[in-house]
Amino acid sequence: MASLSLNINSKNYTVDIDPQMPLLWALRDIIGLKGTKYGCGIAQCGACTVLLEDNAVRSCSLPVSAVADKKIVTIEGLSEDGDHPLQQAWIEHDVPQCGYCQAGQIMNAAGLLNKNPNPTDEEIETAMNGNICRCGTYLRIKAAIKTAAKSEKV
Amino acid sequence: MLTFNWLAGCKPTTTKEVLTLPKEWFEMNSYIKIGENGVVSLMSPNPEFGSNVKTSMPMILADELNVDWKNVLVEQADFFPERFERQFTGGSQGIRLGWQPLRTAGATARQMLTDAAAQTWNVPASEITTENGMLIHKASDNKASYGEMASLAATLPVPEEVALKEIKEFHIIGTSRKNVEGKNIVTGKPMFSLDHTKEGMLISMIVHPPAFGMKVKSIDESSVKSMPGIRDVFVFQNLRDDYERNGFDTTSFADMVAIVGNTTWEVMNAKKALKVEWENAPEKTFDVQGWRGKETVVMPAGLESSDGHTYQMEQMSRKAAQELRKDGDPETAFKKADKVLERTYTAPYLAHNCMEPVNCFADVTADKAELYGPIQAPEFIMNALSTSLGMPKEKIKINLARMGGGFGQRAYGHHMVEAALISQKVNAPVLTIYSREDDMTYGIYRPTYTATYKAALDKDNNLIAFHVKGGGIPEHAVAANRFPAGAVDNYLAEGWSLNSNITIGAFRAPRSNFIAGAEQSFMDELAELAGKDPIDFRLELLDRAKNNPVGENNDYDAERLSGVLRLVREKSNWTETRKNIHRGVSAYFCHNTYVAEVLDLEMKDNKPVVHNVYAAVDCGIVINPDAATNMGEGGIVDGIGNALFGEMTFKDGKPEKNNFHQYQMIRQKEAPKSIEIHFVENEHDPTGLGEPLFPPTFAAVANALYKATGKRFYNQPFVHDLETTRMEM
């Protein structure tokens, strides 16, 4: 166990924690933020995606020791009131079916738009390929990202 | 009730404006409550797994009730059989079987409000009209909101018979409405049972045998008991030995190990460290009270491998099988044939792979049990819960969690029984979680199937005989009364099966999910042999089935099946050719809905890239068009993914794939560039969409691949034969 400082959604948390614990489980079990999901544990499905200093990363495969003191944003911190352009676009296109993968999809898309505010279809497909949607909402995810990219430009 | 009812303080998700919650609710019936300020609370009865019944079922209630959708709040009902009928999500039956009861509930409440107004104004109820939550009596210039009449209405007797709306009067049904949970989903609110917390709650994970045909021999508790955060480790048995199962009690392993601890990470570490000794399990025979009556199930001993399955199936396919239907004299017809086509199709076991791994929260005390978890069929797990816990059903409460996918896997409730037993043993609330590996290797798979088709054409290219012989482990997929039965004079359908200790269960469109692909691929090849366009070939046969059907019990409406084929032909511009783009067509009827699909793909670097998919769907009245389109897209994407990649294999009883690095799933890059869903407009009562678009997709892919590569694809997943094709080219 070690005492670590985690900066999540602009708040500082000091926790006594196994430094090997993946960020995913620190978020869910220690901090109590349930939006970031467990899907596979081996960075193959993307359900656990968060932003680490504005880059999309798989929290299931990052030990907390590697992210201490760094800026982490989860789905809960993407916006004040659910009005991030991506969240609004997700609603506009009525994207989700079961909804389990969608937080990871949105956070991964946020990482994409942070790096590439005006992605082509192909760039979206490549960037989002690590996020599995079992229900098959891929077309709507892509459409929502394009809508969000356009609105951010305006 | 578990504290998952946020009505007290929450903002509604159906509207941008904040609805003011009423001071008091007045209950009209199990589904409908009205506040004094006119806000309406609707209970969505069925568990939600992504088909969005949580929006469409309340839409039906709200329409007959005749309120403004923006004044509606939706709440998930818990399992409450005294108050709700058929809280079952599966079989694409939710809307179809809920249509009458939901409309009646809405209309009944509307009538009670009307009666209250009639009483208050002293006018005949028949002169009162309703609109958008208002009651109006024109003659006396009286007006009132539902809210004003609700308290009186709630005291009135429930009318025995009520008039339902005319279809043309619908103002919500048939319009697209946003998912009532949309905002919660995109803001990461805790919505799944995996997200549940409770004071004093522990985490548990299970360890199940690594292979089918094995059981626990012994565990070394000392290997984990002193690890950080670990509270307990023990072997337990899910079902009692003398318990008589029903069809949803499927349990892959008689006994498993439970590890209980404080946090998920600590329990995961203990799982890795735990030393367990396994041994071979004996053969097991037991009765199951299924929907077809009592069946005896034999689970043989032994460690099975896919190679062995393939060999056994090939052997069985040569033996005599059970005759399922016979029309005319197929044997003679085949002898007289001008051309005969015979082809064999195969498909492997499939894992459901819901994004949310199996889990369940349970809080079992001496006198009651509260469960909260993903379950499609809560009614059917109550017997097992009651027997295993040793507790009467009245003391067991199931709260219906939103499911991160279902696809049939969550119809089986073994995980609820496990979670309950673990909580009971440690005397604390426990959230039991399966790892992805546990989930993918637990079983309850889609069976492995094969089918051999043989057809005879005469010299004029008429179809004169048709023979399908299908088998599988542990069941065959032959639906003897479906098309082309009824369209051909000489017809024979046969089936066989083999026993196995690998557990299986319902998987999105059971049986249809294989046989549609096989049959519609064969139809395509047969059409080519007959020198006919594939759509024309099918339409000619359907004309015969409509005008001059062979036999009775033809389990499809030839006119409606023709209808979707014609519609997809039109909408896809079927005869259009585009450079490098190749088209496949397929049509199927299952779960009461008719679907025809055209799929366009291109080969790029020897990989199929799906450009467009067109689907024509006849599901009667469409409740929520955009959500229905979403469901259609999902079924098609799922079909492409499973046709190309889906596969579970076994070596010595062990599933060879345990996570997504081994089990290939369809991803964003492989999804079609566009999907168009066209609904046939008619006034048939609504039928489902969860399953019907899945089965025909497999053949649409195969038939397009044939045009693209010149090769037919008979064995799923097609990725293997595509690889062979790539290496040959």
Residue B562 tokens read as 């023709």
Among B62, B63, B56, B64, residue whose Cα is nearest residue B39: B62
Interface contact A40-B659, CB threshold 8 A = yes
Residue B112 has phi, psi (to 5 degrees) of -65, -40
Alpha-carbon distance B396 to B420, whole Å?
A: 10
Check whether residue B258 and residue B378 sit in a common domain.
Answer: yes
Chain A residues with CB under 8 Å of B50 CB are 96-99, 135
Q: What residue segments make up the domains of chain A, in order of their start?
A: 2-77, 85-153
- Write the CA distances from B44 to B92, B94, B406, B464, B705, integer angstroms: 16, 11, 17, 51, 42
What is the pLDDT, as a whole number, of residue A100? 98
- Among A16, A88, A98, A132, the strongest candidate for a mutation testing the B interface, having the largest count of B CBs within 10 A, is A98
- Domain for residue B487, yes or no? no
Check whether residue B380 and residue B248 sit in a common domain.
Answer: yes
Interface contact A35-B189, CB threshold 8 A = yes
A30 to chain B: closest CA residue: B263
Is B291 or B531 the better-scoring residue by pLDDT? Answer: B531
Residue A79 to chain B, least CA–CA distance (Å):
8
Chain A residues with CB under 8 Å of B354 CB are 98, 100, 134
* Backbone conformation region of residue B497, classed left if phi is above 0, alpha if psi is from -120 to 50, else beta: beta
Interface contact A138-B671, CB threshold 8 A = yes
What is the pLDDT, as a whole number, of residue B656? 98
Interface contact B638-A32, CB threshold 8 A = no
Interface contact A44-B659, CB threshold 8 A = yes
Q: Tell me which residue in B187, B197, B263 faces A75 most closely, judged by beta carbons.
A: B187
What average pLDDT does the segment B672-684 reach? 97
Interface contact A136-B404, CB threshold 8 A = no
* pLDDT above 70 as % of chain B: 97
Chain B residues with CB under 8 Å of A75 CB are 186-188
Interface contact A97-B666, CB threshold 8 A = no
pLDDT at A154 over 80: no
Q: Residues of A numbered 80-109 whose beta carbons fall under 8 angstroms of chain B's beta carbons: which are they?
A: 82, 86-87, 90-91, 94, 96-103, 106
Check whether residue B572 and residue B704 sit in a common domain.
Answer: yes
Q: Do B262 and B227 meet the contact criterion of CB atoms below 8 Å apart?
A: no
Chain B residues with CB under 8 Å of A125 CB are 668-669
Check whether residue B535 and residue B652 sit in a common domain.
Answer: yes
Three-state DSSP at B637 gives: helix
pLDDT at B16 over 70: no
Chain A residues with CB under 8 Å of B182 CB are 90-91, 94, 96
Q: Tell me which residue in B265, B404, B669 faces A98 most closely, judged by beta carbons.
A: B404
CA atoms within 13 A on the CB side of B572: 31
Residue B49 to chain A, least CA–CA distance (Å):
5
Residue B192 tokens read as 């799944």
Interface contact A32-B197, CB threshold 8 A = yes
The domain spanning residue B590 has which CATH number? Answer: 3.30.365.10
Alpha helices in B600-712 (DSSP H): 625-644, 694-709
Write out pLDDT tens, residues A24-35: 999 999 999 999
Q: Do A34 and B190 meet the contact criterion of CB atoms below 8 Å apart?
A: yes
**Hey, what CATH class is A85-153 in?**
mainly alpha
Q: Which domain holds residue B257?
A: 193-284+358-433
Alpha-carbon distance B636 to B597, whole Å?
A: 9
Q: Which amino acid is at B383?
A: N
What is the pLDDT, as a whole number, of residue B711? 96
> Edge-to-edge, what's the strand order for the sheet holding B25-27?
B25-27, B32-35, B40-44, B72-76
Check whether residue B178 and residue B214 sit in a common domain.
Answer: no
- Domain for residue B451, yes or no? no
Interface contact A135-B191, CB threshold 8 A = no
Q: Do B258 and B234 meet the contact criterion of CB atoms below 8 Å apart?
A: yes
CB under 8 Å to B653, separation ≥6 — which residues?
Answer: B211, B212, B213, B214, B302, B303, B304, B305, B501, B502
Tell me, yes or no, if A59 comes closer than 8 A to chain B by beta carbon: no
What is the pLDDT, as a whole number, of residue B298? 92
How many other C-beta atoms can be found within 10 angstroms of the C-beta atom of residue B275?
11
Residue B234 has phi, psi (to 5 degrees) of -160, 160
Q: Do B621 and B174 meet the contact criterion of CB atoms below 8 Å apart?
A: yes
- Domain for residue B569, yes or no? yes
First to last CA, chain B: 63
pLDDT at B11 over 90: no
Among B447, B506, B498, B450, residue whose Cα is nearest residue B478: B450
Residue A150 to chain B, least CA–CA distance (Å):
19
Give the model's confidence band at B1: pLDDT under 50 very low, under 70 low, under 90 confident, else very high.
Answer: very low
Among B429, B427, B370, B425, residue whose Cα is nearest residue B401: B370
What average pLDDT does the segment B495-504 reach? 97
Interface contact B671-A41, CB threshold 8 A = no
Residue A113 to chain B, least CA–CA distance (Å):
17
Q: Tell me which residue in B190, B357, B675 faces A38 most closely, judged by beta carbons.
A: B357
Interface contact A91-B190, CB threshold 8 A = no
Q: Do B179 and B78 meet the contact criterion of CB atoms below 8 Å apart?
A: no
B669 to chain A: closest CA residue: A125
- Among B355, B433, B645, the strongest candidate for a mutation testing the A interface, having the largest count of A CBs within 10 A, is B355
Interface contact A96-B186, CB threshold 8 A = yes
Write out pLDDT tens, residues B69-99: 999 999 999 999 999 989 999 999 999 999 9
Chain B residues with CB under 8 Å of A131 CB are 667-668
B637 to chain A: closest CA residue: A136
- Domain for residue B462, yes or no? no
Interface contact A136-B637, CB threshold 8 A = yes
The helix or strand, by DSSP H or E, that contains position A145, with its residue range, turns out to be helix A138-153
Chain A residues with CB under 8 Å of B266 CB are 18
Q: Which amino acid is at B397?
A: K
Q: Tell me which residue in A103, A125, A141 faces B669 most closely, judged by beta carbons.
A: A125
Check whether residue B638 and residue B568 sit in a common domain.
Answer: yes
Write out pLDDT tens, residues B505-515: 999 999 999 99
Residue B436 to chain A, least CA–CA distance (Å):
5
Q: Residues of A numbered 17-56 whose beta carbons fall under 8 angstroms of chain B's beta carbons: which are they?
A: 18, 21-22, 25, 28-30, 32-42, 44-45, 47
How many other C-beta atoms can be found within 10 angstroms of the C-beta atom of residue B46?
26
* Backbone conformation region of residue B530, classed left if phi is above 0, alpha if psi is from -120 to 50, else beta: alpha
Give the model's confidence band at B729: pLDDT under 50 very low, under 70 low, under 90 confident, else very high.
Answer: low
CA atoms within 13 A on the CB side of A48: 21
Q: Do A100 and B356 meet the contact criterion of CB atoms below 8 Å apart?
A: yes
Check whether residue B264 and residue B404 sit in a common domain.
Answer: yes
A2-77 and A85-153 in the same fold: no
Q: Superfamily for A2-77?
A: Beta-grasp domain (3.10.20.30)
Write out pLDDT tens, residues B167-212: 999 999 999 999 999 999 999 999 999 999 999 999 999 999 999 9
* pLDDT above 70 as % of chain A: 98
What is the pLDDT, as a whole number, of residue B14? 43
Total domains in chain B come to 3
What is the pLDDT, as a whole number, of residue B17? 59
Query: Where is the domain boundary, B380, B405, B433?
Result: B433
Mean pLDDT of chain A: 96
What is the pLDDT, as a whole number, of residue B6? 38
Size of interface A-B (CB pairs under 8 A): 186
What average pLDDT does the segment B594-618 reach? 97
Alpha-carbon distance B276 to B206, whole Å?
A: 12
- Residues belonging to chain B: 729
Q: Which amino acid is at B446?
A: R
Q: Do B409 and B442 meet the contact criterion of CB atoms below 8 Å apart?
A: no
Give the model's confidence band at B538: pLDDT under 50 very low, under 70 low, under 90 confident, else very high.
Answer: very high
Alpha-carbon distance A80 to A84, whole Å?
A: 8
Interface contact A99-B185, CB threshold 8 A = yes
What is the pLDDT, as a whole number, of residue B725? 76
Query: Where is the domain boundary, B433, B464, B496?
Result: B433
- Residues belonging to chain A: 154
C-alpha of A44 from chain center: 14
B403 to chain A: closest CA residue: A98
What average pLDDT does the segment B560-576 reach? 98
Residue A153 to chain B, least CA–CA distance (Å):
21
Write out pLDDT tens, residues B23-71: 999 999 999 999 999 999 999 999 999 999 999 999 999 999 999 999 9
Alpha-carbon distance B549 to B119, whole Å?
A: 57
Mean pLDDT of chain B: 96
B72-76/B40-44 β-pairing: parallel
What is the pLDDT, as a whole number, of residue B15? 43
Alpha-carbon distance A14 to B244, whole Å?
A: 53
Interface contact B660-A42, CB threshold 8 A = yes
pLDDT at B13 over 50: no
What average pLDDT does the segment A111-120 reach? 97
Alpha-carbon distance A62 to B351, whole Å?
A: 28
Q: Which amino acid is at B420?
A: A
Chain A residues with CB under 8 Å of B638 CB are 134-136
What average pLDDT does the segment A26-55 reach? 98
Q: pTM of the entire structure?
A: 0.97
* Backbone conformation region of residue B61, classed left if phi is above 0, alpha if psi is from -120 to 50, else beta: alpha
Check whether residue B683 and residue B567 sit in a common domain.
Answer: yes
Alpha-carbon distance B168 to B279, whole Å?
A: 65
Write out pLDDT tens, residues B339-349: 999 999 999 99
Interface contact A97-B192, CB threshold 8 A = no
- Domain for residue B449, yes or no? no
Q: Do B681 and A145 meet the contact criterion of CB atoms below 8 Å apart?
A: no
Among B344, B349, B310, B345, residue whose Cα is nearest residue B642: B349
Residue B135 to chain A, least CA–CA distance (Å):
33
pLDDT at B390 over 70: yes
The helix or strand, by DSSP H or E, that contains position B117, with its residue range, turns out to be helix B94-121
Residue A30 to chain B, least CA–CA distance (Å):
8
Q: Tell me which residue in A101, A126, A130 faces B355 most closely, judged by beta carbons.
A: A101
Check whether residue B197 and residue B159 sit in a common domain.
Answer: no
Buried b (16+ CB within 10 A) or exposed e, B10-38: eebbbbeeebebbeebbebbbbbbbbbbb
Give the model's confidence band at B716: pLDDT under 50 very low, under 70 low, under 90 confident, else very high.
Answer: very high
Check whether residue B267 and residue B389 sit in a common domain.
Answer: yes
Alpha helices in B255-370 (DSSP H): 264-273, 306-317, 330-336
Alpha-carbon distance B687 to B95, whole Å?
A: 7
